[in-house]
Amino acid sequence: MKNIALSQRVGKIKPSATMAITAKAKALKAEGVDVVGFGAGEPDFDTPDFVKEAAIDALRAGKTKYTPGAGIPELRDALCQSFRQEEGLEYKREETIISSGGKHALYNIFQAILSDGDEVIIPIPYWVSFPDQVLLAGGTPVFLHTNEAEGFSFSVEDLEKLITPKTRAMVINSPSNPSGAVLGEELLRDIAKLAVEKDIYIIWDEIYKKINYSGQKLRSLPVIYPEGKSNVLVCGGLSKAFSMTGWRIGWTLGDARVINAMSMIQDQSTSNPTSFAQYGALAALRQGTGHIGPWLAAFKERRDILLEGFARIEGVSCARPEGAFYVFPNISCWFGKRWEKGVIKDSHDAAAYLLDYAKVAVVPGEPFGSPENIRLSYALATDDVRKGMERIAEAARALRP
């Protein structure tokens, strides 16, 4: 075997914990193990039929060739139209790009805006891929501590303290993966003002915008603070609100210079997002999220089952999420306790215990920057949520001092 070194960049990153747990739960299920999978942030609902039909029609019509790297013009225009209608925000086609999923959009943003040593501020807890994507672009993640008791919020003063001459951007993901926290508009306005004042980008990840239980529409950051529009790179996609995780369609809207740089990166790396998936996406954006009401009702019921379940477990606290489909309980009271195969020392051990003993897959909190928590996605059938919660409660009871 050759001993050829891998890149230094790759040496800085680790496997995605969300992807790893999801793969593990799926493999165990395939072996016939009755695992309840709270791992993946992937809705259990089917992609709406009208979206599938549009993609099938595109396949039949021979739309199977390369498209422009930044996406088909109709889809970019439909994205502008949807922001105009839903948010009252104007974007031009050259201020939009279609990427192969929201994750790809974020990756390309970091590649487009970061030089070696540039800093990106990321509030804790964060989605596992933000820091590693920053590292892959040569940047340095700088973490902002948040207050769990106050629903993982923070003050703009704490944020400002982290800004240095090397800061290029901050990532704001609301509703948040993994906490489900929704940041208030007043705080968001102050953050955007600060970004304008300090001349830095806000990477506004609104992939969960439609998954919210407040009963009120969540507005896009450039609507909340229009004066900051050119500092905001709006990232989104269809994976969550249309249950299209495998289609890999995401987007960015914002500064045409950044979009143009991302477009070059796509031309030189992936080329276009899958041609017929883009036609499915076109149907989705043109029709909108009229289907989502029953999905939200189901998610809310599942969230409440978990919140009630964790409230009954002694010592465990769980902030009440107002969006996305995750709960992020603090299980640090389990640390130091034992079960037949050892002692739980950290969130990885807690997740391993739940998988081994209770046959429940959860993601440890440490890769989200919160070593005292575990993340559960409730994007799975309601009966499974109930069954999984019962198993977790039983596993908690079985731990010994």
What binding mask, one character per residue, do residues 41-80 give for ligand GLU by CB under 6 A, x or -? x---------------------------------------
CA 330 – CA 180 distance, rounded (Å): 14
Tokens of 104: 């790809």
Report the nearest approach of ligand GLU to the CB of residue 235 (Å): 12
Q: For ligand GLU, give the closer residue by CB, 16 or 274.
A: 16
Q: Which of 13, 16, 24, 86 binds ligand GLU (CB under 6 A)?
A: 16
Residues that contact ligand GLU, how many (by CB under 6 A): 11
User: According to the binding rule CB under 6 A, does residue 174 interact with ligand GLU?
Assistant: no
CA 298 – CA 211 distance, rounded (Å): 11
Report the nearest approach of ligand GLU to the CB of residue 123 (Å): 16
Strands 250-253 and 374-377: what pairing?
unpaired
CA 124 – CA 152 distance, rounded (Å): 8
Strands 374-377 and 167-173: what pairing?
unpaired
Q: Which of residues 81-140 bind ligand GLU (CB under 6 A)?
A: 103, 127-129
**Cα Dmax for the chain:** 65
Interface region with ligand GLU, contact rule CB under 6 A, candidates 13-21, 23-31, 327-335, 392-400: 13-21
CB-side neighbour CA atoms (13 Å) of 305? 24
User: According to the binding rule CB under 6 A, does residue 40 interact with ligand GLU?
Assistant: yes
Q: For ligand GLU, give the closer residue by CB, 16 or 155.
A: 16
Interface region with ligand GLU, contact rule CB under 6 A, candidates 14-22, 78-86, 168-176, 283-291: 14-22
Q: Which H/E stretch holds residue 295?
A: helix 292-311
Looking up tokens 């951007």 gives: 169
* Phi–psi pair at 66, nearest 5 degrees: -55, 145
Looking up tokens 């709960």 gives: 327
CA 130 – CA 111 distance, rounded (Å): 12
What binding mask, one character per residue, do residues 177-216 give for ligand GLU by CB under 6 A, x or -? x---------------------------------------
Q: For ligand GLU, give the closer residue by CB, 128 or 203.
A: 128
Tokens of 276: 């017929």
- By CB under 6 A, name the binding residues for ligand GLU: 16, 18-19, 40-41, 103, 127-129, 177, 377
